[in-house]
Amino acid sequence: MKDNLDNVLLIALADDALDKFVVGETFYFEEAKADTKEPQNVRDAFDLLVLDYWTKTKHETFPGKFATAMLKALATYPDKNRAIYAVAFWIQYYHYCLKQKKSNPDSKYRELFEMDTAGVAGALKHELEVNKAELITDTRWAGESWNSKQGLWEPLIRMALGIRDKFEGPDFVPDNL
């Protein structure tokens, strides 16, 4: 685990700001080498911070706090599209890791916590449906023209379908495709 002074997850937990960690707000952003700009470096933040924290502490309340933080981000974060995109990415990566755990019990995800993401998926589906027009015009992150003809909407739909169909995760594919 990173030194406590550098660990943005520990700082977010201490500050009761796990929702800000989820969306990668400046103070809670995990620095990482990445080819593309993202609101939060979810892969590194999960593997280096979340997984490490869980493996070392096994705080049984953490999975619930993490899911609650995603719900809070969806409900209250001022940049709604950022919250939607970041939460979808967290859900996708979590279910990818869960699939790795099941297919390879000796992987680094062998001790991964079980987290109920159904409630988060329901809220995410609602936010996708309500914010479709804004997501289509948002060309940040994966919504850039090199990756999408419909802003963030297209990559979010790909994520939702992949989580449901490939990772057997919760279904948050919007009804208003």
Half-sphere exposure for 18 (CA within 13 Å, toward CB) = 19
Model-wide pTM > 0.75: yes
Q: Which long-range contacts (CB under 8 A, 24 or more apart) does 161-170 make?
A: 162/92, 163/91, 163/92, 163/95, 167/92, 167/95, 167/96, 167/98, 167/99, 168/95, 168/99, 169/91, 169/92, 169/94, 169/95, 169/98, 169/117, 169/121, 170/91, 170/117, 170/118, 170/120, 170/121, 170/122
Whether residue 22 lies inside any domain: the answer is: yes
Domain count, the chain: 1
**Which range of residues forms the domain containing residue 138?**
8-165
Q: What is the pLDDT along the chain (177 residues), one digit of tens a residue?
A: 455 657 999 999 999 999 999 999 989 998 777 677 899 999 999 999 999 999 999 999 999 999 999 999 999 999 999 999 999 999 999 999 999 999 999 999 999 999 999 999 999 999 999 999 999 999 999 999 999 999 999 999 999 999 999 999 999 999 998
Whether residue 151 lies inside any domain: the answer is: yes
Whether residue 45 lies inside any domain: the answer is: yes
Indicate which CATH number applies to the domain containing 87: 1.25.40.520
Cα 133–Cα 36–Cα 8 angle in degrees, nearest 5: 95
Residue listed under structure tokens 């003809």: 149
Whether residue 1 lies inside any domain: the answer is: no
Whether residue 176 lies inside any domain: the answer is: no
Whether residue 25 lies inside any domain: the answer is: yes
Contact at 8 Å (CB) between 84 and 131?
Answer: yes
Pick the closest to residue 117 from 135, 90, 97, 99 (CA basis): 90
Whether residue 146 lies inside any domain: the answer is: yes
Whether residue 35 lies inside any domain: the answer is: yes
Residue listed under structure tokens 């520990």: 10
